[in-house]
Amino acid sequence: MTKQSFEDKILNMVKKGGEDGVVQSDLWNVLGIDSREGSRAVNKLVRSGLIKRVPTTSKGRRTYKLIYVSKKSESVKLLVKLNPAMSIPCFLCKDLEKCGLGSYFNPLICGRLTKFLQIND
């Protein structure tokens, strides 16, 4: 199985999860992939803005819920861009105080910030 097919399968399962999303740790079991390989594929999808990762607890363990980012929410982000300061995702981020290196909310893997930087590069 190639990395690309991991990403395709993960994206399809996350899409099927709808608004409730899919618990990341459950994906590894369903797809039969190890967490390291799966996390790498998920990071690519998050960076590309196709899915978002939300911290959650499942079976008493901290993990992430993966939720598909629809094109509808992307168009809302474009409306925010009318004011340059307000278009910076961190400016209005509800997770700003919890964000930092080594945290669940991490600017190095933040899909919103990555997408903003790619668009404004």
Q: Report the interface residues with ligand SF4, using CB under 6 A.
A: 89-90, 93, 95-96, 99, 105, 107, 110, 112-113
Closer of 1 and 54 to ligand SF4 (Cβ): 54
Closer of 30 and 92 to ligand SF4 (Cβ): 92
What are the backbone angles phi and psi of residue 36, rounded to the nearest 5°?
-65, -50
Rounded CA separation 66/8 (Å): 14
State the nearest-atom distance from the C-beta of 115 to ligand SF4, in Å.
10
State the nearest-atom distance from the C-beta of 94 to ligand SF4, in Å.
8
End-to-end CA distance of the chain: 34
Rounded CA separation 113/104 (Å): 14
Closest CA to 109 of 57, 55, 58, 71: 55
State the nearest-atom distance from the C-beta of 119 to ligand SF4, in Å.
14
State the nearest-atom distance from the C-beta of 50 to ligand SF4, in Å.
16
Closer of 1 and 91 to ligand SF4 (Cβ): 91
Which residues make Cβ contacts (< 8 Å) with residue 117, sequence separation at least 6? none
- How does DSSP classify residue 83? S
Closer of 31 and 99 to ligand SF4 (Cβ): 99
